[in-house]
């Protein structure tokens, strides 16, 4: 079994879809007007973005976020620079223990529609 699909509610489907396409390599797969966009990445992960019922930003629980792993710290730093250049104001890169005694670099960024994104290296340390 593997996790292959995530649905996010947002007040701005088009802007959030553009964000995931531009910064995280997703491509359009299907759409239903401005209310629903289905994206897919090269690993066949399906990300569905849909307008919330009220049209307001989703009210996700505190600390809810989705994460993207990069194998190397330099890739995390490059993604941070890219998001900064696009005026998306990512948090500073910090290091935390995520298992295995290794400290991993990570940062957060708020995507359109108030969706919190984390970028980091995998738990347990950098890939070898």
CATH topology identical between 1-52 and 64-128: yes
The predicted structure's pLDDT at residue 128: 43
Distance CA 26, CA 5 (A): 13
Burial category of 93 from C-beta neighbours within 10 Å (exposed 0-12, middle 13-18, buried 19 and up) = middle
Instruction: Report residue 118 as tokens.
Output: 């984390």
Q: Which CATH architecture has domain 1-52?
A: Roll (3.10)
Average pLDDT over residues 68-79: 95
CATH superfamily of 64-128: 2,3-Dihydroxybiphenyl 1,2-Dioxygenase, domain 1 (3.10.180.10)
The predicted structure's pLDDT at residue 41: 96
Average pLDDT over residues 57-81: 92
Instruction: Report residue 91 as tokens.
Output: 């948090």
* Confidence band of 125 (pLDDT split at 50, 70, 90): low
101 vs 125, residue with greater confidence:
101
12 vs 91, residue with greater confidence:
91
pTM: 0.89
Q: For the chain, what are the domain ranges?
A: 1-52, 64-128
């Amino acid at each position: 079994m593997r996790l292959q699909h995530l649905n996010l509610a947002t007040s701005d489907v088009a802007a959030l879809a553009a964000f995931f396409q531009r910064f995280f390599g997703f491509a359009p797969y299907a759409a239903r007007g401005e209310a629903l966009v289905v994206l897919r990445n090269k690993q066949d992960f399906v990300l569905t973005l849909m307008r919330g019922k009220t049209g307001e930003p989703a009210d996700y629980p505190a600390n809810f976020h989705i994460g993207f792993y990069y194998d190397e710290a330099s890739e995390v730093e490059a993604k941070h620079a890219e998001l900064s250049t696009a005026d998306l104001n990512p948090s500073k890169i910090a290091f935390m223990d995520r298992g295995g005694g290794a400290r991993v670099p990570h940062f957060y960024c708020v995507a359109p529609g108030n969706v919190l994104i984390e970028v980091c290296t995998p738990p347990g340390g950098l890939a070898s």
